[in-house]
A and B are shown apart, each in its own frame.
Chain A
Amino acid sequence: MSRLLQRIFGRLPIGWLQLTHKRGRFAAALAGVAFANVLVFVQLGIMNSMAEATLRPYGFFDADVMISAADANALAEGGNVARQWMLQALADPDVNDGMGLFVGNVPWDRGGTDITLTTFGVDPGRPDFVTHGLTDGLMYLQVQDTVILDRLARGLPHEEAAAIRPQTPLAFETENRTLTAMTTFAGGGAFGGDGYMLVSDQTFLSLFPSRSSAAPDHILLRLRSGADVAATIERLQGLISDHSLRIRSFVDAAVEDLRYQQTQRPTGVIFGFGVLIGVLVGLVIVYQVLSADVADHLREYATFKAMGYRPRFFLGIVIEEALVLGLLGFLPGLIVGTAILTVMGKVTTLPLAMTPGMAVTVLLGTLVFSVISGGIATRRLAAADPADLF
């Protein structure tokens, strides 16, 4: 290692030699940096999983435009939209088809384990509005009280979910009704529910008697092939007389939902602060280690100053130390962070996992903040006055 660094820096790797001279302190410093990395990884992992969990249900549907109530910041939030606006929208020459989408949470008492399923009510006669993996199952929904169940739902044993097929359906009680799962799809746990369920709009209305078929939560529109989405939306905004409605492209709705979850909802803000705190903890740990190291070697640095070494030489030593700490502290942080995210993902069924993007981001962030810490720590070098050596 020493020879490799000597080749890289073109001088004795004094930073490396200083750090490794006191192995106990070096190990503690690496543990500190690794801890800060783990903090950031876990918080970033949760943030990423929140983003993935927020966008996942949008992936169940295939639409170009979504009409929602003014307060509908998320797919499962906000008021209803009158179905009449869908009929009005269909008057636009570029709007091919429309469907009301109902959303509600259905509790499932599994005998000691209550799970909540975010339930979407769709028109089973409009397979174009669901994505490919769900199209085949949609025909089963024509039968009242049948459902397509999320086989990755939190609290649903894997073996039980795997056994669900049309020949061996799973019947279960909820909201005083017996529902029958004929088939499954891959969803997963989220922050607002343990999993998902697709039902027909009629089944949905029987599960939620207070809801009306005339007022779905959102209206999904599919446009004619090659239609200009933005131009159509602009026309729809003039066509639909309720100007309080949010008429957005389906993609924009997903992006706005994500932004809302990350910046307006407490969970998003808390995880964002978690990342910040992890970064600050890392910054402080590296600064403390480097600052103490500079203070410990002030006399040696003063000696080097007397010998004619220039300021950039000292900056190089401290930056070398910062990079060593950042790089070597990152590796155990990556291993522990990956392990924690994997375990958390299995327990919660949230999409928690270490991604290459996260690893690279944290590595670069660690190196940048280590170098910043090193830069700050070199201010103490000014105290190394070679004239004081005599």
Chain B
Amino acid sequence: MDSDPIVEVRGLNHWFGTGEARKLALSNINMTLTRGGFTVLMGPSGSGKTTVLTLVGCLRAVQEGSVRLMGHELNGASAKELTALRQRLGFIFQAHNLHESLTALQNVIMGVQVRPGLPDDLARHAAARALGLVGLSDRLDYLPAKLSGGQKQRVAVARALVGNPALVLADEPTAALDKDSASDVVDLLKRLGARRGTTTLLVTHDNRILDRADRILTLEDGRLVSVKETAAE
């Protein structure tokens, strides 16, 4: 891990609703994610973890404060700029969100095909390689319905990493998995991320995976209440 910042958040405030129903969701958030780091964002439900994830992931407009992603200021960025930046990120969702009509290989191809101009055979090769890295070389042509929960989430990891993103944002990726599968998925994410210099921001309630984190951020009531550096490998 080097000290090159991928994400810099300064004085971030965010509200939901309007008028009297307007509610403060995030208050004065400051944080920096450096290249290759594996950061876990914790906190009770409603503390603002997901809001941070969606703001850093260019899925919501920044209302107040500054979020710089790979050197680009997100406050005031156009929808087109946000979409272009999202193409350089990897997303992993709680429910894996694989496309039911596409095979494992085709789902992973979607992770790299978003970048225009990539030849088909190269996209196919990269996707097959990514599935090999997550141990699913023998499941390339399987539809999601034929895969176990852990295998689906590994396909989702491959899809997130296939385009060599600078930042992977993972939302409760282990919530629906048993202990062994959860451990496998997080180990994969950390190992492959470290190998490629990918920064990971993982939101979780799952205490089983905290020992993998380089850093643990804790949110409560929209405020960042603790930042804990760990000795994880």
Does B associate with A? yes
Q: Is the CB of A21 within 8 A of B101?
A: yes
Q: How far is the CA of A62 from the CA of B175 in the complex (A)?
A: 87
**Secondary structure class of chain B's binding surface, majority of residues:** mixed
Kindly supply a per-residue 1/0 record for chain A positions 290-332, scoring 1 wherever the CB is within 8 Å of any chain B CB and 0 otherwise. 0000000101100110111110000000000000000000000
For the complex, count residues of A whose C-beta is within 8 A of B. Answer: 23
- Residue A11 at the chain B interface, CB threshold 8 Å: yes
- Residue B38 at the chain A interface, CB threshold 8 Å: no
**In the assembled complex, how far is the CB of residue B108 from the closest CB belonging to chain A, in whole angstroms?**
11
- Residue B177 at the chain A interface, CB threshold 8 Å: no
Which of B60, B84, B114 is packed against the most chain A CB atoms within 10 Å?
A: B114
Q: Is the CB of B59 within 8 A of A309?
A: no
Of A96-104, A258-266, A382-390, the one contacting chain B is A382-390
Quick one: which of B54, B87, B106 contacts A307, CB cutoff 8 A? B87
- Residue B171 at the chain A interface, CB threshold 8 Å: yes
Of B18-26, B91-99, B190-198, B210-218, the one contacting chain A is B91-99
Kindly supply a per-residue 1/0 record for chain B positions 67-89, scoring 1 wherever the CB is within 8 Å of any chain A CB and 0 otherwise. 00000000000000001111111
Quick one: which of B93, B111, B114 contacts A390, CB cutoff 8 A? B93
- Residue B233 at the chain A interface, CB threshold 8 Å: no
Quick one: which of A14, A310, A387 contacts B60, CB cutoff 8 A? A387
Q: Is the CB of A389 within 8 A of B93?
A: yes
- Residue B209 at the chain A interface, CB threshold 8 Å: no
24 example contacts (A-B, Cβ-Cβ < 8 A) are as follows A6-B120, A11-B113, A12-B109, A12-B110, A12-B113, A14-B101, A14-B102, A17-B101, A17-B102, A17-B106, A299-B97, A300-B97, A303-B91, A304-B110, A304-B114, A306-B57, A307-B110, A308-B83, A308-B87, A309-B114, A386-B59, A387-B59, A389-B171, A390-B59
What B residues does A232 contact at CB under 8 A?
A: none
Q: How far is the CA of A82 from the CA of B111 in the complex (A)?
A: 85
- Residue B100 at the chain A interface, CB threshold 8 Å: yes
What B residues does A6 contact at CB under 8 A?
A: 120
- Residue B53 at the chain A interface, CB threshold 8 Å: yes
Quick one: which of A10, A299, A306, A389 contacts B86, CB cutoff 8 A? A306
What A residues does B59 contact at CB under 8 A?
A: 306, 386-387, 390
Kindly supply a per-residue 1/0 record for chain B positions 34-63, scoring 1 wherever the CB is within 8 Å of any chain A CB and 0 otherwise. 000000000000000010011001011000
What is the interface residue range for chain B against chain A?
20 to 34
**Secondary structure class of chain A's binding surface, majority of residues:** helix
Q: How far is the CA of A112 from the CA of B181 in the complex (A)?
A: 84
**In the assembled complex, how far is the CB of residue B48 from the closest CB belonging to chain A, in whole angstroms?**
12
Q: Is the CB of B100 within 8 A of A21?
A: yes
Kindly supply a per-residue 1/0 record for chain A positions 359-390, scoring 1 wherever the CB is within 8 Å of any chain B CB and 0 otherwise. 00000000000000000000000000011011
Quick one: which of A10, A14, A20, A390 contacts B50, CB cutoff 8 A? A390
Known: A17-B106, A303-B93. A310 touches B83 (CB 8 A): yes
Known: A306-B91, A307-B86, A307-B111. A390 touches B101 (CB 8 A): no
Which of A303, A307, A309 is packed against the most chain B CB atoms within 10 Å?
A: A307
**In the assembled complex, how far is the CB of residue B49 from the closest CB belonging to chain A, in whole angstroms?**
9
